[in-house]
């Protein structure tokens, strides 16, 4: 038998308790009984069958040598980080769905886990129930991963899907997402790309072994995407998606988050609603995509339980410990040098083709043209726009969206 503690008895924490007790497959896979000994929460749950396990003092868990696995589902960095570190120092393994803690403190917590002969696992931190982290570590373990492109946030993908299918504005689609419980009152973490940033931060650390400070990950909001952009994309053979990207190069990697025109030849173009899709490109396996619901009580709880099971069975102890170094200077390539095709829409310009060269320009209004540019870097793009504005002060950039 293995004794576990659950920190945070909210949506996911409650789901973990349910999945563990209602799915006999979990204990079968673990090869032993999994007993929920404590649940840490500020609240009481008089109507819950687990209310007798609820405690309000973390020390009870830390000081109980019988507890060997702690599932942290509190959310937020503090005190989740402090509790995680304390558990690992006490030799207890920790599993979590808390992407904020993993993205902020993952390198340190993985090192702490190794020092104390414990595990720190976080399958549920990216892609909800989609198996992605363990497959990368075990099934793709002989691969050199060269690129990850992911639709990593269900809320924004729902909004973009709605805008595309119903022709509604960003604000109206956001309203709808709120009604359905997909978006928070303050949607910034989703629509400004912060959630996606955390997830690509974690995925690139797994792929490259380097944890980069989130502040260095260029992150662009999707608030500026309009219905007209969606229509242009569709007409030109693309879908608009918020993409977290990590692209390896000779010196390190580009890691960034931005809305993209995704060509309809790419399966990511068809990932709709709250679903997530993550494409992994590697030297042996080639291109693989992982797809599923990126959030939700049961999928996320299932991922947490799979981590618990893999520690309890002993399987985790047999696979190499993850080591993340903090990324040194020079690992992150400057986004200014990142080159790609770009969808551009310009108003009040006559000299656009002098600046952008041979492209398939299309008139959208009498005073408006749109086109997919040749492959140009960010700095090159900015220089061209500056030149254009010098030549034509009234010229106005309506849209600029990278092509995947």
Task: Compare residues 117 and 139 and give the one whose CB is closer to a copy of itself.
Answer: 139
CA 25 centroid distance within chain? 28
User: Which of 150, 147, 172 is CA-nearest to residue 159?
Assistant: 172
Q: Does 110 sit near a copy of itself (CB under 8 A)? A: no
φ, ψ (nearest 5 deg) of residue 396: -135, 130
- Give min distance, CB of 312 to a copy of itself, in A: 10
User: Which of 377, 388, 299 is CA-nearest to residue 349?
Assistant: 388
Which member of 21, 35, 175, 285 binds a copy of itself (CB under 8 A)?
285
Which member of 46, 49, 181, 286 binds a copy of itself (CB under 8 A)?
286
How many residues are present in the chain? Answer: 404
- Give min distance, CB of 118 to a copy of itself, in A: 16
Site string for a copy of itself, 145-184 (x = CB under 8 A): ----------------------------------------
CA distance 56 to 45: 12
Q: Which of residues 305-364 bind a copy of itself (CB under 8 A)?
A: 305-306, 309-310, 313-320
What residues act catalytically? 199
Which member of 247, 289, 335, 397 binds a copy of itself (CB under 8 A)?
289
- Paired residues of 120 in beta bridges: 94
Instruction: List the structure tokens of 17.
Output: 């308790």
Per rule CB under 8 A, count of chain residues that contact a copy of itself: 57
Which member of 134, 214, 384, 389 binds a copy of itself (CB under 8 A)?
134
CB 352 within 8 A of CB 361: yes
CA distance 113 to 88: 5
Other CB atoms within 10 Å distance of the CB of residue 390: 9
CA distance 305 to 71: 9
Q: Does 117 sit near a copy of itself (CB under 8 A)? A: no
Which member of 112, 299, 370, 381 binds a copy of itself (CB under 8 A)?
299
Ramachandran sector of residue 286 (left: φ over 0; alpha: ψ -120 to 50; beta: rest): left
Which pairs from 21-25 meet CB under 8 Å and 24+ separation? Answer: 23/305
Q: Does 302 sit near a copy of itself (CB under 8 A)? A: yes
- Give min distance, CB of 307 to a copy of itself, in A: 9
- In the three-class reduction of DSSP (H, G, I as helix; E, B as strand; rest coil), residue 343 is classed as strand
φ, ψ (nearest 5 deg) of residue 399: -145, 145
Give the 3-state secondary structure of 174-233.
HHHHHHCCCCCCCCHHHHCCHHHHHHHHHHHHHHHCEECCHHHCEECCCCCCCHHHHHHH
Q: Does 123 sit near a copy of itself (CB under 8 A)? A: yes
Residue range at the interface with a copy of itself (CB under 8 A); choices 64-72, 192-200, 302-310, 394-402: 302-310
- Give min distance, CB of 277 to a copy of itself, in A: 8
Task: Compare residues 321 and 383 and give the one whose CB is closer to a copy of itself.
Answer: 321
Which member of 10, 237, 267, 357 binds a copy of itself (CB under 8 A)?
267
Which member of 271, 344, 355, 376 binds a copy of itself (CB under 8 A)?
271
- Give min distance, CB of 315 to a copy of itself, in A: 4
Helices 99-115/80-89 angle, 10° precision: 20
Site string for a copy of itself, 5-34 (x = CB under 8 A): --------------xx--x-xx-xx-x---
Binding site for a copy of itself (CB under 8 A): 19-20, 23, 25-26, 28-29, 31, 123, 129-131, 134-135, 138-144, 265, 267, 269-272, 275, 283-293, 296, 298-299, 301-303, 305-306, 309-310, 313-320
């Amino acid at each position: 038998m293995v004794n576990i503690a659950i920190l945070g008895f909210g949506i996911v924490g409650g789901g973990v308790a349910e999945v563990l007790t209602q799915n006999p497959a979990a204990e079968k896979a673990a090869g032993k009984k999994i007993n929920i000994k404590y649940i840490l929460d500020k609240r009481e749950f008089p109507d819950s069958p687990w209310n007798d396990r609820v405690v309000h003092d973390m020390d009870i868990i830390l000081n109980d040598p019988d507890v060997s696995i702690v599932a942290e589902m509190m959310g937020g960095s503090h005190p989740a980080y402090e509790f995680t570190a304390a558990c690992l120092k006490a030799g207890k393994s920790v599993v979590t769905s808390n992407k904020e803690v993993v993205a902020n403190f993952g390198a340190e917590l993985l090192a702490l886990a190794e020092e104390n002969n414990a595990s720190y696992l976080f399958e549920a931190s990216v892609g909800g129930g989609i198996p992605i982290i363990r497959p990368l570590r075990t099934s793709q373990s002989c691969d050199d991963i060269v690129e990850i492109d992911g639709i990593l946030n269900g809320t924004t993908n729902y909004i973009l899907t709605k805008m595309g299918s119903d022709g509604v504005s960003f604000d109206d689609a956001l309203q709808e997402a709120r009604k359905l419980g997909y978006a928070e009152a303050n949607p910034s973490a989703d629509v400004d790309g912060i959630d996606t940033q955390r997830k690509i931060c974690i995925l690139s650390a797994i792929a490259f072994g380097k944890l980069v400070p989130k502040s260095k990950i260029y992150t662009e909001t999707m608030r500026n995407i309009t219905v007209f952009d969606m229509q242009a994309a569709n007409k030109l053979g693309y879908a608009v998606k918020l993409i977290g990207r990590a692209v390896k190069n000779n010196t390190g990697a580009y890691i960034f988050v931005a809305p993209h025109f995704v060509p309809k030849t790419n399966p990511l173009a068809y990932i709709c609603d709250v679903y997530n899709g993550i494409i992994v490109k590697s030297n042996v396996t080639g291109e693989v995509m992982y797809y599923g619901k990126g959030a939700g009580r049961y999928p996320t709880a299932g991922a947490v339980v799979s981590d618990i099971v893999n520690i309890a069975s002993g399987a985790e102890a047999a696979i190499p410990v993850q080591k993340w170094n903090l990324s040194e200077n020079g690992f992150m390539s400057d986004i200014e040098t990142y080159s790609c095709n770009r969808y551009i829409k310009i108003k009040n310009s006559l000299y656009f083709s002098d600046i952008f060269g041979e492209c398939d320009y299309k008139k959208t209004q009498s005073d408006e043209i749109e086109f997919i540019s040749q492959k140009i870097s960010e700095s090159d793009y900015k220089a061209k726009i500056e030149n254009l504005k010098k030549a034509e002060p009234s010229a106005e950039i309506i849209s600029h969206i990278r092509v995947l």
